[in-house]
Amino acid sequence: MKTRDEILSVFTQTVISGGMNTAPEARLLLFALATLIHAQTILETGYDAGYTTEILAMTGAKVIAIDNGSEYPEVKKEAKERLSRYTNCKLLDTDALSFLRDVPDEMFDLIFIDDDHTPSHVKDEVVEVRRILKTGGLVVFHDTEKDETLKRVVNEGLADWEILHLPAWCKDEGGVVVNFGLTVARKK
């Protein structure tokens, strides 16, 4: 486990692009959730600059972070260099949905979804998340308040799970404060 100061520096990290829309409070929530459920295996889709990945790695869990490089390619090299010191963290350059389809059943304790936000993609991801998340595990979807369609897709796909919608306020690329939102769902 890292020192208190190391953890706090990652919580408050801001970047110009990649991870900009994942507020420090959202990172804190993910860290707390992972710790509270004693997560051993964590998946993150769309790692961008890797600041959320780093805070997840600080929990000590095995973290797999995937990104297809379609957004913010300028921050990937620095993210890979910074995250290389975490032996419990593996970065993969691949499409999220392709990866999810190849994962064995009930593999992850915690999943953070923040990649392609098109409704059809998220709907397909929900199908895979239902299969690969362990019973009692948590999935967190980012940007579900920013796009009501995504919130509806998640609600419908996980209607039989416990679901909590939370605000996640952050500045967008234009500097405007927006509620991107987080949806946390627990597999029964």
| Residue 150: Cβ within 10 Å count | 23
pLDDT band for position 11 (50/70/90)? Answer: low
Looking from the CA of 22 toward its CB, the CA atoms found within 13 Å total 31
pLDDT band for position 10 (50/70/90)? Answer: low
For 47-105, write each residue's pLDDT tens digit: 988 999 999 999 999 999 999 988 777 888 999 999 999 999 999 999 999 999 999 99
**What pLDDT does residue 147 have?**
85
pTM, two decimals, is 0.90
First-last CA distance in the chain: 29
Given a cut of 50, is residue 175 above it in pLDDT? yes
- Which of these, 75, 120, 77, 80, lies nearest to 97 by C-alpha position? 120
For 16-59, write each residue's pLDDT tens digit: 334 557 888 899 999 999 999 999 999 999 998 899 999 999 99
Given a cut of 90, is residue 165 above it in pLDDT? yes
Q: What is the mean pLDDT of residues 137-144?
A: 96
Q: What is the mean pLDDT of residues 100-121?
A: 97
**What pLDDT does residue 14 have?**
47
Angle at 90 between CA 87 and CA 126, to 5 degrees: 140
- Distance from C-alpha of 48 to C-alpha of 55, rounded to nearest angstrom: 13
**What pLDDT does residue 69 have?**
81
